[in-house]
Homo-oligomer: A and B are copies of this chain.
Amino acid sequence: MEDVYKLVEAESANMEEEEEDPECNSLHQPLLKRNRTLSSSPLAIVGAKVSYIESLDYEINENDLFKQDWRSRSKVQVLQYIFLKWLLAFLVGLLTGGIATLINLAVENITGYKLLAVVKYIEQGRYLMGFVYMAGANFLLTLVAAVLVVCFAPTAAGPGIPEIKAYLNGVDTPNMFGATTLFVKIIGSIGAVSAGLDLGKEGPLVHIGSCIASLLGQGGPDNYRIRWRWLRYFNNDRDRRDLITCGSSSGVCAAFRAPVGGVLFALEEVATWWRSALLWRTFFSTAVVVVVLRAVMEYCKSGNCGLFGKGGLIMFDVSGVSVRYRLVDIVPVAVIGVLGGLLGSLYNYVLHQVLKVYNVINKKGKLHKLLLSLSVSIFTSVCLYGLPFLAKCRPCDSSLADSTCPTNGRDGNFKQFNCPDGYYNDLATLLLTTNDDAVRNIFSINTSSEFNVFSLVVFFALYCILGLITFGIAVPSGLFLPIILMGSAYGRLLGLAMGPYTHIDQGLYAVLGAASLMAGSMRMTVSLCVIFLELTNNLLLLPITMLVLLIAKTVGDCFNPSIYEIILELKGLPFLDAHPEPWMRNITVGELADVKPAVVTLNGIEKVRNIVEVLKNTTHNGFPVVDCGVTPPTGSPNGATELHGLILRAHLILALKKKWFQQERRRTEEWEVREKFSSIDLAERGATIEEVTVTKDEMEMYVDLHPLTNTTPYTVVESMSVAKAMVLFRQVGLRHMLILPKYQAAGVSPVVGILTRQDLIAHNILSAFPHLERSKGSKKGN
């Protein structure tokens, strides 16, 4: 873990210069400083790229100027907003469904023609030529995917789910949802999956759905945005968050054709904040996705889509199997669950180590990233093509009365490969096919004698290795399918072993094995259960699936956190957990504030020079605004200091850009402000202080910050424990939290400090307060 953090660590150039202000001196005295400082690392790995990350702001900004939210404005505008919200949810579903179909079509056709050509060479006995053709095609496809990712959109690498999870938790991940990323993710995903790599399109589809949602919300790619007036309602972090939640659900739905599962996946795994209203909009999006998929499948049934037909969408329909299980069947089911938990946590552990090694390699440059991807591709081709030669040819079971054995075509359950007529190669059935078809074959029911132990062991071992080495390479890659493949293999093996003692079909064992490994690695329960329910189209499987999932998750939780949590930590994304660590009770926010650089406050009416200096010399994004010498209503002879609120860096830069200057220190009138600023201005972000030019004369002028200040930031008293502060921070979705003094007296600063997301990350606190490490008990295990 440590080396990764070093990689991520960067200049936290927080050298505050104390401004001089004759009137309000006491405020700028540096607070009690210690040697230790709370270091924060604003860098994290997004996709495969080290990026500067920021925090999102879900707080309602209440400043004098725009205290009147649009909601309290005209009815027409409210209706526009609601209409647009639903229109966007519809479009997200429509486009995600469309793109998912496109990817499926492309993958099925590319892989299909590739496999047909390979089969033709094999039929002619030209095995080497077949290998060269297959390895070459896979190499090229991987090359396309990897070059696109490495050169154009490093953020498109990997599944994207951890980054989306972090985004919905409040971490802004730059370049994550852009048009280039979307494009590269689509093409890269087609390339990587067609190349036969051990990865799925499920994770990427979640990312694609989120990209579509984000692009729709902002009206198009960054440089070519549609400036539709209605879209301005969506120019805030909250509505964008909701849209991206819709997008990620649609993605899951499109991947598994599981509308309820998609909604639950977003709810259980991805989203941090949730409300009923969102539940139902998300549901609408997934419903649209399902309708689109269904329509396309109807259209393709008549053979209009090339080799696409059976493949792609419903992954494995076992609705035909009659599920009659009795109490004794609970034993193998429990065994599968325990195995899934053990193997899942082992997988998490080993993958973590592999990813750390990969990070070191990837850091060395683009060429290394490319070479790594291509090596994995070649290794995969060699194994997929070479290993079936080790398997013995098996005679077709004449009792099946199935004219489709052996098969040579695009799909089919009994591949002939190198065998004579009337015989099939069971390992080729699993390896020389698309990943989707491999899953379908291994899940197939009433085929208890199809696969022998040797083939299944080889298959399992191969996919364990591939699953570990493939995930970290710089192409779009999902985790679901590799885990399903691994899990189904050992499930089916167990089915073979238990064969004489149980009545459960072996295909069902494979399904349960896949479910158990998913739960053991990803630690989801309800959403996985529903996804498997919708995949297998058999409600009677429900109780048995539940049991497997519960056992696997429980066992897995004993060893390590879920794979997504591991990746989040590895990437250095400051994710705020739902539960504060127990030792956070033993430290107060006041103590945290003490080890941070002193808070930089501004006066309600501040000199331009001071503002420019503060902006140039700090990297803070929010500054408390304080008025000195005011007279409170209850009267204080010496005058009081008043906490006016918090002003954002973006708004300070805006004030400088718009030259909101005046010669004398005076409060401005409302109409002056309204003339100068519009709500659209205030919603803009991303401007930097370097873009601003201020003349020497202007430097001596004043800015009235009052109208631009958020007068109602959330606050905590300095004696509050970090645990409770964190609950508030996460629940309300904050970016800044002001710390107030618990003392009330003249001369006490009205703000003790300011907390941000980075200050509340356990790792950062522990590095400043090492003694807490000792008291760091076991994490609450619910």
Contact = CB atoms under 8 A, between A and B. Distances in A.
A67 B585 contact: yes
B534 A643 contact: no
Given A550-B287, A716-B715, A780-B78, A294 B530 contact: no
A453 interface: no
A344 to B, nearest CB: 15
A526 B634 contact: no
A742 B643 contact: yes
Interface stretch (A277-285, A372-380, A504-512): A277-285
Nearest to A585: B69
Interface stretch (A136-144, A354-362, A722-730, A756-764): A722-730
Interface stretch (A46-54, A151-159, A538-546): A538-546
Given A287-B546, A724-B714, A642 B742 contact: yes
A260 B777 contact: no
B747 A636 contact: yes
Interface in A709-754: 711-712, 714-717, 719-721, 723-724, 727-728, 731-732, 740-750
A694 interface: no
Given A291-B543, A724-B60, A72 B526 contact: no
Contacts of A782: 82, 85, 277, 281
Contacts of A550: 280, 283-284, 287
A255 B398 CA distance: 48
A83 to B, nearest CB: 11
A57 interface: no
B743 A732 contact: no
Interface in A630-658: 630, 632-645
A260 B526 contact: yes
A259 interface: yes
A750 B746 contact: no
Contact of A260 (B82, B530, B642): B530
A277 B782 CA distance: 6
Interface in A513-527: 525-526
A745 B638 contact: yes
Main secondary structure of the interface of A (DSSP, over half): mixed
A276 interface: yes
Interface in A256-308: 259-260, 263-264, 267-269, 274-277, 279-281, 283-284, 287, 290-291, 294
Contacts of A744: 640-643, 741, 744-746, 748-750
Interface residues of A, number: 104
A172 to B, nearest CB: 21
B275 A279 contact: no
Given A724-B714, A742-B643, A743-B630, A280 B732 contact: no
Contact of A711 (B319, B543, B719): B719
A284 B75 CA distance: 45
A227 interface: no
A635 B748 CA distance: 8
A221 interface: no
A742 B29 CA distance: 20
A553 B744 CA distance: 52
A781 interface: yes
A766 to B, nearest CB: 15
A529 interface: yes
Nearest to A32: B633
B582 A69 contact: yes
Nearest to A780: B71
Q: Which of A276, A578, A583, A740: most chain B CB closer than 10 A?
A: A276
A732 B721 contact: no
A639 B743 CA distance: 9
A547 interface: yes
A767 interface: no
A403 interface: no
Given A259-B546, A263-B526, A744-B746, 12 more contacts: A71-B777, A277-B782, A279-B525, A280-B525, A287-B550, A632-B743, A634-B748, A640-B745, A712-B720, A728-B732, A731-B732, A741-B744
The 10 closest A-B pairs by CB, nearest first: A640-B745, A636-B745, A632-B743, A731-B731, A744-B750, A712-B720, A71-B582, A640-B743, A746-B746, A287-B546
18 contacts: A60-B727, A67-B721, A71-B585, A71-B780, A72-B585, A78-B781, A259-B546, A260-B529, A260-B542, A268-B279, A279-B525, A287-B550, A632-B743, A632-B745, A636-B748, A640-B745, A645-B719, A715-B740
